[in-house]
Amino acid sequence: MSTDVKNDLLLLEDYWIEKLGTAFPLGLNDKKKGTGNISQDRVMNYFSGQIARYKRGRGNGKKKVQPKKSLDTIESDINRLKDNISSEHSIYKTLKCYSLSDLDTLYSLSQNNSGLIYNVCSSFCSTFSPKYHQSKSESSNREFIVVPFNCKFIDNLNLKSIFSDTSVIDLLPILIQSFTPLQIYYEYNDPISLSICNYASFLKKLSISDIKSILDSPCDCHSSPFNYPPHGHVVTGNLDIVDNVELREVLSYGCKYRIPTFKSPDEIYMSVTEAVDKFIKSKSRKYCQKEVKFSDWKEKVLSIVSNRIEYYKKNFPETFEIKENTLEKDDVKRSLKLLKSKYIICSIDKASGNFSFICKKFYVKTLVNEMGFDPNNLECIGNNTYKPCSEDETHYVHTISESLKERFNVQVEDKNLRLARIFWNPKLHKNPYKARFIAGARFCVTKQLNVQVNCCLKLLRKYFKKYCEAIYNNSGINMFWSIDSSSEFLEAIKNSDVYNIQVYDFTTLYTRLDLIEVENMINEVVDLIFSDRNRYICISKRDSNTCFFSNKTYDSHACFSQDDLKEAVKFIIYNTYVVFGGIVFIQTKGIPMGGNSSSPIADLTVGKKEFNYMKRLLQEKKMGLAKILSNNKRYVDDLSIINYLYFHKLIKDIYPNSLEMERAGSNNKIINYLDLNVNISTEGLEISVYNKTDDFNFHVVSLTFPHSNIPTEVGYNVFSSQVLRYGNVCTRLDIFTSHLHKIFKILVDRGYIRDRLIKGIKRCLRKYNNVFRKFGILDDHNIIKELPIP
C-alpha cells in the first residue's frame, strides 16, 4: 500500500471516529492508531466528536412533563448498559429517552465508573448538557488559574505539568474535573516602557507658562548628529543617542521587554499558595462547592511545588541568587535622567516595540499647532477640530460623572476622575516624519461607559453582519464589506476569479468624521437590529465579555434598550474632552483615537454608509455594479477593491464628503493589503506574507526575548503560530521557507534553543498536515530537509 493511500485511509478513519464520537462499538473498528484495542478492559481515549440525537416532532398536543428519574433508576440503567454495551440499539434507546436534567445526573454518576460506559455517556451527554459536560479539547471550556509570574524561576516549576497530572485532577471536585486541565494565566510585571517613556508625566504637569518657557528656550538640536533636517530638531529612533552601554542594551529589547526579577524560595512558594487560594475561593463560589473539598487537591499541588523548589535549592542554589536590576544602577539612572531632561521618549507609530527620542521643544510645538494656539502670543484660539472650554478640568469631570450616574447608572471609579490627555507618536515611516495624535484614555471619566458601548457595538456589528448574510443568501449581493482579519480577505480571493485589485485607505477617518453623520449612521444600525425579540443588550457587570440580546433586563447586568444605546453613543461622541497645558478642549469633529469604543463607532459608521449605497443600487436595478462591488473588503480604514478599476469615481457617492481616501500604489496586479502580499499573474494568484515594518528604514523590534520576565514557552508558541500563519498564507514552498528561515534565524540569535524550534516546526506540520499538503511534502522529514536552517 502506498504512503498516500495509507494516509488518506487514516484521515478517513479519523473523520468517522470524530463524527461518531468514539471508535468502538459505535464507530468503525476496535483498533485506533495510538490507542490500541479499546474494547479491552481499559479506559478509552475520549474523542471530541459528539453523537447526534435526532429531533423529534412536537405534535399538536399539550407539552408533557417528563417525570424526573430517581437515582436508583439511573444507577440501574448504568449497570444495564454495562451488561449490554455491545448492543447499539440498547444504548440509543436508553439515552434518547433521558431528559436534559437526567442526562446531567447520568453523566455525573458514570464518572465514578471508569471504562467504556463513561466514554459513551460523555460523548452523548456532552451534546445536550452544556452546563457541565463540554469537550475537554476545547480550551474555551476549560477553567483557569491565575499565577503571578514574578520571577524567571516560575518557568522551572512547570506548572502546566502539575495541573495536567491526572492524579492531581482526580482530587478536584467532580464538577470542575469536566473543565480540566486548568489553563494557566500569568500576571506579568510591568514592561520597561513604563519606566523609560516620559511623555505622560511630562504632559500631566505641563502648564501654559511651561509651554512658553520651553518654546522661548533654545535647544541644541542643530549640533546633534541625530537632527532630522526637515523638522530641524531631533526626532529619531536610533539608540546610539544613548551614551550608557547597559541602558542602550536594555532599550534595544523594546518597549514590551520585562526586566528579569529574582525571588527567594519562600516568596515563590507563597505566591503560588496565594494563587491556589484565590482559585479555590473563586471556583467554590461559582460551583457552590465547599472549600474543604479542594483541600486534597491544594495539598497535592503545593507538595509538588515545594519538592521542585527544594530540588533546585539543593542542586542549583545559584538559581535564587539576587541580581541587580539594570535600571536600578546609579550610572544607568543618571544617563536616563539626562535623556528625559532633553527629550520626550515614547513609542513609534506602527512600530510600538521601538523607542523614539524627540526634542521637547519640537514635541510641544507640534501639539501647540494641532490644538490651535496663536504661535505669536500662545493665545488659545482653537480650530475646526478642537475648541477651548471656559471651565477647568474639575468642573467637567464633576458634570460628566453626575450625568453618567443619573442617565446610565454608571458610578465613576476614583481612578477615572480625570479627562484624557492628548499626546502624539512619530510616524517614522513617512517622508517627512509625521505625527499620530492620540487621546490617552486609559483612565478618564467616560472610560466605563466607553467599555460598555464597545461591547454593545461589537454585538450590534455581529447581528448587522448576519442580517447582511441573509440578504446575500437571497440575492447574491454582499452589502457588508467589513472584515475582522486578513484571513477573510484571503478566503475571498482564493475562492473567486481575481483579475485586478486596488487598495484604498482613509487618510482622515478618525479626525474628519462629522459627528452628526456618526450619530445618524449608528442610530440607523440600532433601529435595524433591535426588535421585539432583541429589546435589550445585556452586559455582565462581572465580565464585560459576556454580552447578549434579551427581551428582558437582569439586575446583575448593565442593560441598554434601543433608546439607551443611542443616547450612550451620543453622549460619548459629544463629550470628548482632552487636556493640554492645563486647558480643556472639546473635540467637535472626528472620533478620538484611544477611546475604547472609537474603532467600532468608526467601523459601523462607514459600514452603514456602504450598506446604504448598495441598497440604493438594488433599488435602482443596477445589479451588475452591485455584483462587482460585493467583492469589496474593508478592515476599519483599509479597503480592497476586487475586479473594478473605477472605484475612485464612486467614493463621494458612498462616503461622507468630510472623509478623504487615497489609493495605495498604482499597480493593479501586485498589492499589499494588511499582512498579505498578492501577485496576480498568468499562472494564478501568488500570495505571501507582508509586513509593513519591513519597508521602514530602521530596525523594528518584534517578537519576544527568552530572557524577558515572561514564560519562555511564550516565545516558542509565537514561533509555532507564525509557522502555521506562513503555511496558511503562502502559495509556494520557496516563499514559505524564506519567511520561516528569517524568523528562525532571529529567534536562534536571541538565544532560543535551535532543536526546540525545529521540534515546534515538526509538531506544527504534523498537526496541520492539511495546511502544508499543498506544498507537495509527504512528511515533516522532507520539509525540514528542504528548509535552509543555519
Phi, psi at residue 326, to the nearest 5°? -55, -40
Residue 326, helix vs strand vs coil: helix
Q: Which residues pair with 13 in a beta bridge?
A: none
Band of the pLDDT at 19, cuts 50, 70, 90? low
pTM for this model (two decimals): 0.78
pLDDT higher than threshold 60 for residue 311: yes
Q: Worst-scoring range by mean pLDDT, 454-463, 517-526, 691-700? A: 691-700
The per-residue pLDDT for 20 is 60
What does the pLDDT average to over 731-738? 88
pLDDT higher than threshold 50 for residue 41: no
Q: How far apart are CA 679 and CA 670, in angstroms?
A: 4
**DSSP string for 631-648:** T-EEETTEEEEES-S-GG
Q: Which amino acid is at 579?
A: V
Residue 747, helix vs strand vs coil: helix
Span 201-226, pLDDT tens digits: 999 999 999 999 999 999 999 999 99
Average pLDDT, the chain: 85
Span 498-539, pLDDT tens digits: 999 999 999 878 888 899 999 999 999 999 999 888 899 999
Q: Worst-scoring range by mean pLDDT, 16-25, 242-251, 600-609? A: 16-25
- Domain edges within the chain: 3-55+67-139, 142-188+263-320, 190-244+329-381, 447-674, 681-786
What does the pLDDT average to over 487-508? 90
Q: How far apart are CA 530 and CA 550, in angstroms?
A: 10
Q: Worst-scoring range by mean pLDDT, 452-456, 530-534, 620-624? A: 530-534
pLDDT higher than threshold 50 for residue 137: no
Q: How far apart are CA 546 and CA 539, in angstroms?
A: 6
Q: How far apart are CA 85 and CA 30, in angstroms?
A: 14
Q: How far apart are CA 5 and CA 584, in angstroms?
A: 72
Span 400-430, pLDDT tens digits: 999 999 999 999 999 999 999 999 999 998 8
Cβ count near 223 (within 10 Å): 7
pLDDT higher than threshold 60 for residue 435: yes
Span 152-173, pLDDT tens digits: 999 999 999 999 999 999 999 8
660: exposed, middle or buried (C-beta count within 10 Å: 0-12, 13-18, 19+)? middle
Cβ count near 619 (within 10 Å): 8
Percent of the chain whose pLDDT exceeds 90: 61
Cα–chain center distance at 773? 28
pLDDT higher than threshold 70 for residue 86: no
Residues 6+ apart with CB under 8 A from 515: 573, 574, 588, 589, 590
Band of the pLDDT at 129, cuts 50, 70, 90? very low
Span 739-771, pLDDT tens digits: 998 899 899 999 999 989 999 998 888 888 778
Span 640-652, pLDDT tens digits: 999 999 999 999 9
Band of the pLDDT at 599, cuts 50, 70, 90? very high
Q: Which residues pair with 181 in a beta bridge?
A: none
**Closest by CA position to 672, among listed 504, 508, 507:** 504
The per-residue pLDDT for 665 is 87
**Closest by CA position to 490, among listed 774, 689, 289, 193:** 689
Q: Are strands 577-580 and 420-427 parallel, antiparallel or unpaired?
A: parallel
The per-residue pLDDT for 772 is 83
The per-residue pLDDT for 447 is 93
Residue 423, helix vs strand vs coil: strand
